[in-house]
Structure formats: C-alpha cells, structure tokens
A and B are shown apart, each in its own frame.
Chain A
Amino acid sequence: MNVFARRRAGHGISVILARLILGGVFVYASLYKIMAPEEFAAVIFNYRLAPAWLVNPAAIILPWLEFWLGALVISGIWLRASVIMINIFLAIFMAAIGFNLWRGLDFNCGCFSNAAGHPAAWLTLARDGILLLMGGLILASPVVRAAPDQA
C-alpha cells in the first residue's frame, strides 16, 4: 500500500469513527426527550428564546429530528444531507447556549436529559464544538464530496 492509499484508508477510518460518535451521541440524546416531551418542552421554554407557540411543536419534533439524523449518520444513508443538518443544529444550539451563558441565565441545557442537574456550561459549548468539528471532518471527506450516490 503506497503512502496515498494509506492516507486514504486512515482518513476513511477516522470518518467512520466520527460518524459513529456523532450519530451515537445524537441517537442517545434523543431517547429521553422522545420519552418525555413534556419535560423537554419545559427545557425549551427555560431557554427563554423560543416564542411560546413554538415550544410544544419543537418539543414534539426536535427529538425525532435528532434521532433520525443520528441514525442516518451511523448508517451512512443520505450522509451529506444529514451531516449538514446536524451541523446547522449544533450551530444553533451553541448560539443559544452561548447567548444564555453570556446573559448569565442559569438553565438546564437539555442535552442528554431533561432533568435538572445538567446545567449548561462552557464545557457544553466545548463538547458541541468538538461534535461540530466531527461533522466538518465528515463533510470534508472525499467519501462524501466525491460520491454523490452515496451521500
């Protein structure tokens, strides 16, 4: 195997790992919210950013969006579209958390559970930043860019 083939193979493995981690985190994060949308509605409300009319529809739909995006990224189906959506999702989420931290609001991030005891912190932002980088890595990979039938 020459140096270019090795590099491609290594890149492939890192992309698969990134897909598994990113997709796994999204699927895992969605489960509790799917089970208890009323609690997730309270979490969304406590962000104090969404208008009241949007709170419950978001609590019903967003967990499923998380679930399907995670499942699609793991399976590799519609990879490009799902990773783009995950990155948009993460960017909005980071902006919301950052804004609330900046204005000093003490709130539950609702990342993996709706329960209190998971307050949003700068660490949450850093974690989402890492996930965003993983999304970027997948999008930049030749597998996604050069194989439209797979993406």
Chain B
Amino acid sequence: MPDAEKKPFLARTWVQMVLIYLLSLASGVLINWWRPLSLPWVFQADKTAEPGNASGRAEVGLPYLLEALRRDDVAVIDAREEPFYRFGHIPGAVNVPPDSLERELPALLEAIPAHYEIIVYCSDRFCPMAENVILRLASVNRPARLFSPGYIGWEEAGHKIEVSP
C-alpha cells in the first residue's frame, strides 16, 4: 500500500478500535442497568472477608451446612439463575432465581414451615443474589443465613452435587 494511503488507513483502524470499545461500554452499561440485580460499579471489598467478620451478616461455612443438612428442619435455597441450578446444585436445594423471587415468594413462604432454618447460597461469596433473597426474606420476618462459600465452595470441597434434567 502506498504511504499516502497508509495514514488514513491506520487512522481508520484506530477510530474503529475506539468505536468497538465504546460499543462494548454502552452494551455493558445498558444491560447491567436493565438487569434486575445490577452489579454495582464499586467492588464491595467487605465481601472478601471471612464469615463471622465485621460485615455482621449471618454467614455460615461448610461444616455448619453439612451439620444442618443432617437435620430435617432446614431449607436450602439456591439463588442462582435457573440454568446454573440445573447444571448442578447442593442436594435438596430449591431454586429461587432473582427474576422470580417476587413471584415465588408467597409459595416459598408457605412451603417452608416457620420453624425451619433457611440457608441461602449462590455461586460464591462475591455474588449478590443470595443476599438479595436474604434481605427479601428478612423483610417478611423470615431470617435466613448465607452459606458464603456458595456452590463453588461446595463443589470444590468435593461434596455430592445434584443435577436437574
């Protein structure tokens, strides 16, 4: 290519790269804004802390959940999106995806006896869906605990998972 043509060619490539970045930025911002549970722009550093820390949330770890699952007065809620639940979840967990929380809440509250302990999890300690379910349950006076290692922690520890067809 002659030198005279090279400059506009390179300039056009640069402009296209900037436009691709702007397109990605706009898509990310819009879809995140539209999602029912938008990811906050600021990373919540307190979520990296260990269970029982200063964040004050009622969190439980793996030993607690294993012990609780031996009892029959425990309800475990998987707060992830439905496809992930189908790929694998903690045995006996009920799926309440964030989109259907409001719709399923009355039936859920009816299905879980008042004296049951409720434990909620999502993917890991960073994902906000479980907290959202916990907050919603707290608003109807049903306290719940967060299983902070989440599904990833459960799977990594080598415990049995259940797959839904």
Chain A residues 50-102 with CB under 8 Å of chain B are 52-53, 55-57, 59-65, 67-69, 72, 78, 80-82, 84-85
B23 near A68 with CB under 8 A, answer yes
- Dominant secondary structure of chain B at its interface with chain A: helix
Residues of B within 8 A of A (CB): 1, 5, 8-9, 12-14, 16-17, 19-21, 23-25, 27-29, 31-32, 37, 39-43, 45, 48, 80-81, 83-84, 122-129, 151-152, 155-156
A116 at the interface (CB under 8 A from B): yes
A35 at the interface (CB under 8 A from B): yes
A128 at the interface (CB under 8 A from B): no
A60 near B21 with CB under 8 A, answer no
A64 near B28 with CB under 8 A, answer yes
Count of A-B contacts judged by CB separation below 8 Å: 110
| 21 A-B interface contacts by CB (under 8 A) | A36-B84, A36-B123, A37-B39, A41-B126, A45-B43, A52-B43, A55-B43, A56-B39, A56-B42, A60-B32, A60-B39, A62-B24, A64-B25, A64-B27, A68-B27, A80-B16, A81-B16, A84-B13, A115-B123, A117-B155, A145-B1
A116 near B156 with CB under 8 A, answer yes
Nearest A residue to B129 via CB reads A38
| Docked complex Cα distance between A65 and B129 (Å) | 24
